[in-house]
Structures are given as C-alpha cells and as structure tokens.
Structure 1
Amino acid sequence: MASGEGRRHHHRNLVPLAALISREMKSEKMERPTVRYGYAAQSRKGEDYFMMKTDCQRVPGNSSSTFSVFAIFDGHNGNAAAIFTKENLLNHVMGAIPRGLGREEWLQALPRALVAGQQDKLMSSFTIFLLPGETSGTTVTFVIVDRWTVTVASVGDSRCILNAQGGAVSTLTVDHRLEDNVEERERVTASGGEVGRLSIVGGVEIGPLRCWPGGLCLSRSIGDMDVGEFIVPIPYVKQVKLSNAGGRLIIASDGIWDALSSEMAAKSCHGLPAELAARQVVKEALRTRGLKDDTTCIVVDIIPPDNSVLSSPLPKKQNKLRSLIFWKRSLDSANKLAKKLSAVGIVEELFEEGSAMLAERLGNDSSVGQSTSGLFMCAVCQVDLAPSEGISVHAGSIFSTSSKPWQGPFLCADCRNKKDAMEGKCRSRVKVV
C-alpha cells in the first residue's frame, strides 16, 4: 500500500442524543417484550463460562435502546481462552458498529459486526488477543436479544435452539464438529489440512474425526494456537425476528447436546419458568448420560406484554406443586393468545451466513464499498482507496467465487492480511500481546 498521503477516511455525521431518542420513540411499532432467563450448570472440568447481561444499551443513557446478551463459552485445554473471550467479545462487537445508527440500522449492521468489523481494529470480532504461549481454546455461542429480534453467532459445538410459541423447534446455530459437518471437512482438506481419527498401536483408528496437526475435533474455535492453521474463528451468524407471540431460547454447551436432541431439551422443560427450565434441562441431560463433561444451560423466555403473568416471580415460600399449577394455568392462557398472534407466521429469518471465506460473505458486487467521493473504500475498515491500492477480496483464494482477481469488493493491505490470518492462510490468525 502507499504511504497513506492523500488518503481520506470516511467519516459519519454524529447524531445528537435527543434526536436518537426521538427517532426510537417514533419507530417503535410494537410494545417491548419481557425477557426472563434462568441458568443452571454442573461442572466436571471447570472450563464452561457464561454471560447474562440484560442492561446493555446501544445509545448510552437511552433506556429505550436496551438489549440483552446471553452467551456460553466452552473452553478446552484450559480455561484462559474462555475467560478472556467472555471478558472482551462484547466490547469487540460493539466497537465494530458505527455510532449514530437507529435501531433498524443497528440490527442490520449487527451480523456483519460479528464477523468483519467496520473499524480498523480486528477483521473478525471473534478473532481475539491471547496471552503469549497460551494454547487453550473455546467454543462460543453468543446471543443478542433486541426486543423481538434474536441474533446468534457461534463457533464450535455449543448450540442455541428456538422453541417458538406453538411448539415449533428450530436450531439457530451450526455444529462445527468434523465428525458431523461435511462442508467443514471439505474446507479443511481443501485448505491443506488432514482429517482423520487417532491412530493407536497396530494402526487401529479410534475416536471422532480430528484435524491434524493438533488433533482438534472442531473445525472452528477461538484460540487453539497450537493446532493447525485450518481451525478458524469465523462464526456462523443467524438473525431472526419473532412474531409478537414470543418464544423460548435454550442455549447450552455440548454437555447438554451430547445427551439430548433439540426436541428432547425443549420438551423436557415445557411449561416451566425459565429458571426451573434450565435446571430441568441439566437434570435431564445428567439422567440420560451422566456427568461426563461440563454441562451448562441458559433458558431465555421472550414474553409478549399481554402475557406479563408469565414473567411474575414465584413467591419464595410457594411449594413446587402449587408453582407447577400456577405456571400450567399461565401457559394455557399464553398458548391461547399465541395461536391468535401467530396465525400469519412465527419466525421471520432476516440473515444467515456460515461461510468461513470472507469473499463469499461479501459477494461479487463491485459497488460494495464505493464512497460518495467516487473512490472505492476498503469493504471492511472503510478507508478510501486509491485505484492502485485496492486488493480484490477474491485474489489468490482457492475458494474464490470469481475467476477475476480484479473484481471487487476490495480490501486495503492491512485488512487483506487479517483476512488471510482469519481464514487460516497464515499462522498469525490471533495477535499475541
């Protein structure tokens, strides 16, 4: 890249706080749902961590911009990566979204912020900093709930399912286990990695499919600096909008999903409030398989305002039988209303992208990243590029969707290096500090 002379950064006009608050009030068409949640866990290795924050704000000081974050970090080979990701990931995501956006614009920017930051910081919000010599890794399932919109980003084999009112169960994540995911196996082998089982004396192969070198059975994770370059931190991202009938999210580590299917987990806690539901899911997993791994579960209920009785806390001295009767009656009332509200549809899919290649996520549209000045901008960090500076996102990629390396979108040299690192093409995919 050139020395930078004459380069102009793309600046956005700041919007006054009063204007943002006014915009939020005018654009609010549906009442805010109530969010209730519960958590339960049984530890075996002490490597599962979680996050539950219901007081996050898109605009500091603006209560109408509040959203919630729920996440599970399932560490392996130690807990350092899980702890560090828990402490830093939310800040990375928020730092990747431009300020001054209204709620709808913010929601549209959120999926991209979870993958490719719009600021010149990290190519991926999931590509984090670890301590020198640290070799631990972690899976992540990261869920953002903003009123009726749910955005999920995940790497690894933790899972988030949605049990919509009416009983429909859908999975909002993709398991990145080499044993089960054919596409990920093909990506790893096409990149030059090897996929196979552990060989013991006599050439006998045992255990799940793993990526070599390193022997990790996951194809995506955060950390794991001692394994092959083909284990990438790029998340699968899905964003959906619920009808105003609401729904239930079950977020859990693989200690749950190794024992229960999505349908079994949803059915086991049907009719229970979130806190009791999380305990019941863990109890059912332990009954089925025993405590062979850290077992963590978060249940989140997104409840319509008219069903506020569902979100009322149970009296402390109320016995279990009376509690179940109370919640059974509440659930019957909620289901009657849900059938009326969900006649048109229960869930609207807004965004889905799981490719580990940035070229596929950005597409082939050369107009992406064109600034108002007529120059082209880096599709990631938004810096203006001179004609000789831009590097095609497709150039040199064996996964390229274009046979023309001069076709846009374009990246600056720094972001191209980060892209290669993020996609496992060079060893420094995680910066060491």
Structure 2
Amino acid sequence: WEHDIGQRKLHLYNWDKFCATILEGGLRTRQAKLMNEALLAKLAWRIMSSPNSFIAEVRKAKYYKRDAFEVVQLNATDSWDLQFGCGAVVFAGSYTDSLSCSLQDMASGAGRRRGHELVPLAALISREMKNEKMEKPSVRCGHAAQSRKGEDYFLVKTDCQRVPGNPSSTFSVFAIFDGHNGNAAAIFTREHLLSHILSAVPRGLGREEWFQALPRALVAGFVKTDKEFQSETSGTTATFVIVDAWTVTVASVGDSRCILDTQGGGISTLTVDHRLEENVEERERVTASGGEVGRLSIAGGAEIGPLRCWPGGLCLSRSIGDMDVGEFIVPIPYVKQVKLSNAGGRLIIASDGIWDALSSEMAAKSCRGLPAELAARQVVKEALRTRGLKDDTTCIVVDIIPPESSPPPSPLPKKPNKLRSFLFRKRSRDSANKLSKKLSAVGIVEELFEEGSAMLAERLGIDEGAGQTTSGLFTCGVCQVDLAPSEGISVHAGSIFSTSSKPWQGPFLCAACRNKKDAMEGKRPSGVKVA
C-alpha cells in the first residue's frame, strides 16, 4: 500500500520506522501516552521527506521490526490506536491484544472498527507541507566593502535549490574569502567551493537528511578546493554560510568571523578564529605535525609581531591554498549548525578588516535598526572610523525575518547572565519536538552540530556504504572521483582514532586524497622547500 505525494511515494512498510519517533512523542511500550493529530502529521512528514534518517534511531531503540506498525484514529478526541510490530497495542493508555487491523484492511477501508474513521495520510502530510511553507522566514541581505589590497572577495547566492526545479527547496549561500599573498586563491575558492560542496551531498535527500549531510559535505568541499588549487602560492580564508529556512550552517577556516545577533541582544560567534596568536590548540597541532611556531626575528634577536608558522610566516593555522607554507596548514573547516527561533536573527559575516577594528558587540550594536544593505555599510563605516583603511574591509549582513503571519516573539528573560548559559543548547538529532517548541518560545537558538577537529577521519565519520554509486562503484569521499573496488583506501585505515574500524568501512579515498590526508596529519613530508 502506498500514497502518492507529489512526485514521491510513501510505502506503508516504512511505518515500522515510526518506532523511533515514538520515543520523541514520549510513548513507551510500558508507559503509554496519547499522540494528537498535529504530532502525527509532523512525524509523517518527516518520514516522507527523509525515511532513511530514522534507521539508526530505530536500531538504538531496539524496536526495529519488519512487521506492521499501524496508526488508526479512534474517535473525535484525537486519541490513537498504535500497534507495534511486536504485537503490543496501546489503546487510550491501556493494553489490549484484540483491537487491531491489518495493512490490507487499512488499504481497503475495512479497518474501521467500532466507528473508527481512518485519517488519510495524504491529508495529514498536505497540512504539514502547508505549515512548513507558511513558517519559512524571509532572507534579506546587503554587503559593503572598501578595498586596499584587492584581495577580499565575497559570494552572495540566494537562489540555490536542494532539488533542481523545486522552488520550495531554495536555500541561500553567503561567503567571504580574504586572500593573502595575492588574490588567486580567493578567486578560485569563490568560483569552485560551492559546486564542490554540493557534489559531496548524496542525491535524493529530504531536508532533515540534507542538514545532517552538510557537515561532512562542507569538509569534503573545502579539502577538494584546496587540493585542486595548486597553480600559485597564495592563500585565503573562507567563511561559508548556508541559510535554509531557520537553520544556519557555517563552515570556516581562517579569521573571517561570522556572528549571530538574536532578538533581545544576544550575540554569539558561529566561527572560530584560526590565528596562531589566539588559538592554543592550533599551535599544538601545527607543531605536532612538523611546523614551527614563533615570531618574526629581526637584527639583534628581538622578536616582533604575532605568532607565525614557519616556513612561510603565515599567521593562520587553517586556510585554503598556501601550498608553499606546509600542508599542516589545513583546509578542514570548523563547522557549526544552529536552528534559530521563530524570532529570527541577523548574521554579520566580515573579513578581519572589520574584526581588527570592532568587537562583535560593537559591530552588532552599530547597525541595529537598519535594513541589511544599510547595516553592512554602517559596519564598514564604523570600522574605518575606528581604525582607518589598513586592510581590505568587507562585510555581509543577512537578516532572517519571521513571516508576517507569525506571532510576535515572546520577550526574553530579564536576567542576561542566566540567558547566556542557555543561549545555545546542544541537542541530538532525535531530540523531542517539545524541546524545539520551548526553545523557540523564549528566543533561544538550538545548536544542532559543532565540530572543529583537524583530523579528516574524524570529520568524514564512519559509513560502510559511503560513496557507493548505483553501479556498484565507489567514489572518493573528498574529490568524488570513481574508484574501483581495489583502489579505494578507507579514510580510517591506520587511524588511531578509529580502533574499531574495518578496512571496508567508508568513506574511501583515492590515492591522491590519501596522500593529502597523511601530509596534513604530519605522517609524511609535505614537500615544502625551505628557502
């Protein structure tokens, strides 16, 4: 039995995966609670849009069965008859073995018992799709820049689509690339990074699955871009922001910061500065990988300026390019993914020409109350007034605005010290819907994902089927080239971070990407020649 939903079909045998979502609804086999129609509609829509995302949750819950899992409306009080594949039936909070109906009965309409009316699944999903559409915020943006060296570049693209030809899958991309030692790396990255990221996302994913795949795809896209840029010795920072409805995903290398200014004045940083002067963990990683960290020495042995990596003298520990410095300067980004409340928020993405002049608080306060375009100009103007034009100065402001039909956001608590401890609350992918509603109600931002490790094996994860195509071939987890079964090398092979991994566990790397990985981790000479 199946329902046609647009161009997709939902098969009833996928209802067994509802077992995982039952935990979200607070239902247990020995502690039953009722599920109302709104919750069922939400769960049904999530199953339809990303059916495979629940498999791990189902196995973890030990409810994974190939038997039927049925949902039948009982009466007008919105209680539900839920039948597990294991045979336990929950009826209005009590157990019985007599009330049930087969899949065939449900399909034919004979499943009505004692006047119970079946609610068409298509109707529930249609309602949910309508609600999703209504809840999607508007995105407004503006940018401004003042050039000194001509090495800052930016990207604004508001018409990207997860599903080509489907306007409802539209998302926006914003990025800043602050080049050094020339502009070649910044230009190359602006032209290729987006396509490399999207090529690393598996096809046919629903929105929730797509969000989950983004962190790995961002890592692969950054590394592939760095690997392909070998024509010159310049380098660039990269701060890459994806806005899809209320979810914001940020990946960054270097020191082009991105901040979030939320309703009520809460300011959060969504990036990590990879300056050696300020980041102790990165200093330790660089020295462990074979680099040297120190200040510039002048005549007489005096040391001046910020900490730098030698050879090369770069102040950053992560960038794209910089092939003449050493491969311990890695392109693996720090990634953070958050979900905004229905109050929305403002993103400020800028090169260090802004952040060397203004703190995050100063930048946010300087442009409050202004539309995005004027806000970006005001931030640049304030930076120039404070420090002058000593470097390229670029700023993008992105406003994520609630739809007009949304109710006004609830006021935040009056005590800001307590708010700061709750501004970000990390949750797992299977956290309850109730948590989302509570966080949204008080304007709190949910943290969905955060990872900053420079180890490629950790960032690509473990997946036995990763990179396998429909033809049975495998693709490299970084550059996406086809691999014969005998060619792929597991990203975890020989990794001390994956003691339980097996040679056949993906993702897999081609020989060139494997060499790149080893060089970044200091397992082989980088090939950099010291003058």
Both structures adopt the same fold (TM-score exceeding 0.5) = yes
Match of 1:358 in 2: 456
Other-structure match for 1:90: 194
Aligned-partner Cα distance in 2 for 1:279–1:251: 13
User: Residue 288 in 1 paired to residue 277 in 2?
Assistant: no
Q: What residue in structure 1 maps to residue 338 of structure 2?
A: 240
Contact 1:160 1:173 in 2 (8 A): yes
Aligned residue in 2 for 1:268: 366
Structure 1 residue 62, shift from structure 2 partner: 0.6
Residue from 148, 163, 178 that aligns with 1:59: 163
Structure 2 partner of 1:147: 245
Q: Note if contact 2:197-2:220 (Cα within 8 Å) is conserved in structure 1.
A: no
* Distance in 2 separating the partners of 1:286 and 1:377: 51
Distance 2:510 2:394 in 1: 41
**Which runs of 5 or more residues in structure 2 are unaligned?**
10-44, 50-124, 414-437
Q: Is the 8 A contact 2:297 2:304 kept in 1?
A: yes
> Once the two structures are superposed, what CA deviation does each residue of 1:182-226 show, in whole Å capped at 9, x if it has no partner?
010000001111000000101110010000000000001111111
CA distance in 1, matches of 2:375, 2:356: 18
Task: Supply the distance in 2 between the matched residues of 1:75 and 1:348 (Cα, whole angstroms).
Answer: 32
Q: 2:347 aligns with which of 249, 256, 260?
A: 249
Secondary structure of 1:59's counterpart equals coil
1:306 aligned counterpart, secondary structure: coil
Q: Secondary structure, in 3 states, of the residue corresponding to 2:441?
A: coil
Match of 1:135 in 2: 233
- Asked whether the equivalents of residues 439 and 445 of structure 2 are also in contact (C-alpha less than 8 Å), the reply is no
Query: Structure 1 residues 307, 111: closer, same or farther in 2, change over 3 A?
Result: same
Compute the displacement of 1:105 (Å): 1.2
2:200 paired with 1:124: no
State the structure with more CA Rg.
Answer: 2
Superimposed CA distance per residue, residues 244-279 of structure 1 (whole angstroms, 9 cap, x where no aligned partner):
111000000000111111111111111111111111
Preserved CA contact (<8 Å) 2:216 2:460: no
Which structure has the higher relative contact order (CA within 8 Å, separation 6+)?
1
By how many angstroms is 1:139 displaced? 0.4
Which whole-Å deviations, capped at 9, do the CAs of 1:36-88 have from their partners, x for residues lacking one?
11111111111111111111111111100111000001011111111111111
Q: Where does residue 401 of structure 1 map in the other structure?
A: 497
Contact 1:166–1:335 (CA under 8 A) maintained in structure 2: no
Structure-2 separation of matches of 1:389 and 1:92: 22
Confirm whether residue 115 of structure 1 aligns to residue 219 of structure 2.
Answer: yes
Deviation sequence 1:100-119 (CA, Å, 0-9, x none): 111111111111100136xx
State the alpha-carbon separation in 1 of the partners of residues 391 and 352 from structure 2.
Answer: 8
Letter in 1 for 2:497: T
Q: Distance in 2 between matches of 1:182 and 1:419?
A: 22
How far apart are residue 401 of structure 1 and its match? 2.7
Contact 2:294 / 2:308 at 8 angstroms: preserved in 1? yes
Determine if contact 1:127/1:422 at 8 Å carries over to the other structure.
no
Change (3 A) 1:377 1:60: closer
Give the Cα–Cα distance (whole angstroms) in 1 for the partners of residues 160 and 473 of structure 2. Answer: 34
Q: C-alpha distance in 2, partners of 1:68/1:44?
A: 28
SS in 2 for 1:281: helix
Residue aligning to 1:3: none
Q: Give the 3-state SS of the residue equivalent to 1:231 in structure 2.
A: coil
Q: Which moved more, 1:140-149 or 1:27-36?
A: 27-36
Secondary structure at the aligned position of 2:220 is classed as coil
Shift in Å at residue 125 of structure 1? 4.2
1:37-76 correspondence to structure 2 within 5 Å = 37-76=141-180
Which residue pairs with 1:18 in the alignment? 7
Is residue 156–residue 221 contact of structure 1 (8 Å, CA) maintained in 2?
yes
Mapped to 2, the partners of 1:238 and 1:171 lie a distance apart of 10
8 Å Cα contact 1:233/1:422 also seen in 2: no
> Which secondary structure state, in structure 2, belongs to the residue aligned with residue 203 of structure 1?
coil
How many angstroms does 1:382 deviate by? 11
How many Å separate the matches in 1 of 2:299 and 2:5?
69
Q: Which amino acid aligns with 2:164?
A: P
Offset at 1:421? Answer: 4.5
Contact 1:114–1:153 (Cα < 8 Å) also in 2: yes
CA distance in 2, matches of 1:297, 1:161: 11
Measure the CA separation in 1 of the matches of 2:474 and 2:356: 45
Query: Partners of 1:282 and 1:350 in 2: how far apart?
Result: 31
State how far apart, in whole Å, the 2-side matches of 1:129 and 1:382 are. 13
What letter matches 1:401 in structure 2? F
State the percentage of identical aligned residues.
Answer: 75
Q: Distance in 2 between matches of 1:368 and 1:261?
A: 45
Do 2:142 and 2:398's aligned partners in 1 also have CA atoms closer than 8 Å?
A: yes
TM-aligned CA distance change 1:170 to 1:275, over 3 Å: same
Give the whole-Å Cα distance in 2 for the aligned partners of 1:408 and 1:16.
Answer: 37
Number of aligned residue pairs = 380
Distance 1:99 1:428 in 2: 35
Q: How does 1:402-421 map to 2 (within 5 A)?
A: 402=498, 409-410=505-506, 411-412=508-509, 414=511, 415-421=513-519
Does the 8 Å CA contact 2:290/2:522 hold for their aligned counterparts? no
Matched, 1:172 2:270: yes
SS of residue matched to 1:115: helix
The CA RMSD over aligned residues, in Å, is 3.6
Aligned 8 A contact 1:396 1:405 in 2: no
Q: Per the alignment, in what secondary structure is the counterpart of residue 342 of structure 2?
A: coil
- 2:404 pairs, out of 292, 299, 306, with 306
**Are the structure 2 counterparts of residues 249 and 427 from structure 1 closer, same or farther at C-alpha, using a change threshold of 3 Å?**
farther
Q: Distance in 2 between matches of 1:96 and 1:408?
A: 20
One-letter amino acid matched to 1:19: R
More moved, 400-409 vs 155-164: 400-409
Amino acid at match of 1:253: S
Aligned counterparts of 1:429 and 1:38: Cα–Cα separation in 2: 42
1:427 and 1:47, CA in 2 relative to 1: closer, same or farther beyond 3 A?
A: farther
